[in-house]
């Protein structure tokens, strides 16, 4: 049997150690551990990597602590616009949605785009029509409302700026969520889901739903889910770049991930991190920010739940 493993993240950014209370820290770690266990269990009973990453991301979307699903950040017009994507490394099938609202679990809609449509990427009104056709319930705004997120938005709503949900000033609620997994058959998958960046406008789309930028999986190399300021991750084609370094330069998962996060993306001032897995079940979780909510578990006995460096 192949070593099976899963890694998840709940966002990367500026989180200065000591700014969070021990209770808050425990709350975040507890939410990460719960999502990790759900994904790991799916692998343990022989489930596919796709199933495991979807299950773990659903658990994170359902937590108000993270900027995805419930707890998504506010746009410039005080709404929520969510993005998500999923990719199967075995088949290279992929699905993504962007600028959707009212959907409790955007990652499942992305999976439905992959499995039940002829397309890869649906956005806005069209994506919502597709969801309604599949009888998705559309939640009202109160489901997604989170006071902390609303306060973050109020602080910058009169400005032209937009920011990662984990701002420098605050005890931060980190954001975007993602999962990567390698199953018992050595197949890998990746999923990413986000509310995007606070105060975003003009239909801004980040890296999270973009295959190759914020999310990628290919059994030849690796499965990747990114988090950070999306504009840089799009320009760096980050997730695919890690896969390319492995494929064309024969780099290991760890070396390729480090090269992209700690060198290439920093050269264009990009901040963030990623989680990565290969078909041997190896895991890498580099970030160039103060912290990244992250957790991983492998059938070889390794387990980690961490926030800071």
* Active centre residues (catalytic): 176
10 belongs to the binding site for ligand ASP (CB under 6 A): no
Are β-strands 94-100 and 121-123 bridged in parallel, bridged antiparallel, or unpaired?
A: parallel
Closest CA to 3 of 247, 211, 244, 299: 299
Q: Please compute Rg for the chain using Cα positions.
A: 17
In the complex with ligand ASP, the residue whose CB is nearer, 229 or 298, is 229
Phi and psi at 112, nearest 5°, equal -65, -35
> Residues 196 to 215: which contact ligand ASP by CB under 6 A?
196-197, 206-208, 214
Nearest distance, CB of residue 33 and ligand ASP, angstroms: 21
230 belongs to the binding site for ligand ASP (CB under 6 A): yes
Nearest distance, CB of residue 299 and ligand ASP, angstroms: 28
Is 274 in a helix, a strand, or coil?
strand
Kindly state the tokens that stand for 240: 């695919």
Are β-strands 272-278 and 222-228 bridged in parallel, bridged antiparallel, or unpaired?
A: antiparallel
Nearest distance, CB of residue 133 and ligand ASP, angstroms: 26
Q: Cβ-count burial of 287 within 10 angstroms (0-12 exposed, 13-18 middle, 19+ buried)?
A: buried
In the complex with ligand ASP, the residue whose CB is nearer, 49 or 84, is 84
Among the listed ranges 41-49, 135-143, 224-232, 239-247, the one in contact with ligand ASP (CB under 6 A) is 224-232
288 belongs to the binding site for ligand ASP (CB under 6 A): no
Residues that bind ligand ASP (CB under 6 A): 11, 67, 164-165, 175-176, 194, 196-197, 206-208, 214, 227-230
């Amino acid at each position: 049997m192949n070593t099976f493993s899963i890694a998840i993240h709940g966002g990367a950014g500026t989180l200065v150690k000591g700014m969070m209370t021990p209770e808050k820290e425990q709350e975040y770690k507890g939410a990460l551990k719960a999502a990790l266990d759900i994904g790991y269990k799916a692998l343990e009973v022989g489930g596919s990597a796709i199933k495991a990453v979807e299950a773990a991301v659903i658990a994170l979307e359902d937590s108000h602590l993270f900027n995805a699903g419930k707890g998504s950040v506010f746009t410039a017009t005080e709404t929520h616009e969510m993005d998500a994507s999923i990719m199967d490394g075995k088949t290279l099938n992929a699905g993504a949605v962007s600028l959707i609202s009212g959907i409790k679990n955007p990652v499942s809609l992305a999976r439905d785009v992959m499995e039940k449509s002829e397309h890869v990427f649906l956005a806005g009104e069209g994506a919502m029509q597709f969801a309604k056709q599949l009888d998705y319930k559309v939640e009202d705004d109160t489901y997604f409302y989170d006071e902390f997120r609303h306060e973050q938005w109020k602080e910058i709503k009169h400005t032209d700026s937009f920011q990662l949900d984990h701002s420098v000033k605050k005890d931060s609620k980190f954001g975007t969520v993602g999962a990567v997994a390698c199953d018992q058959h050595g197949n890998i998958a990746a999923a990413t889901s986000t509310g995007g960046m606070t105060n975003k406008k003009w239909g801004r789309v980040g890296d999270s739903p973009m295959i190759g930028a914020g999310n990628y999986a290919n059994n030849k190399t690796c499965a990747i889910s990114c988090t950070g300021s999306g504009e840089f991750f799009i320009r760096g084609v980050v997730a695919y770049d890690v896969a390319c370094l492995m494929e064309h330069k024969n780099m290991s998962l760890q070396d390729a991930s480090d090269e992209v996060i700690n060198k290439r993306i920093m050269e264009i001032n990009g901040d963030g991190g990623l989680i990565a897995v290969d078909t041997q079940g190896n895991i890498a979780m580099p970030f160039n920010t103060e912290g990244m909510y992250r957790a991983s578990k492998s059938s070889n006995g390794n387990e980690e739940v961490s926030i800071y460096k």
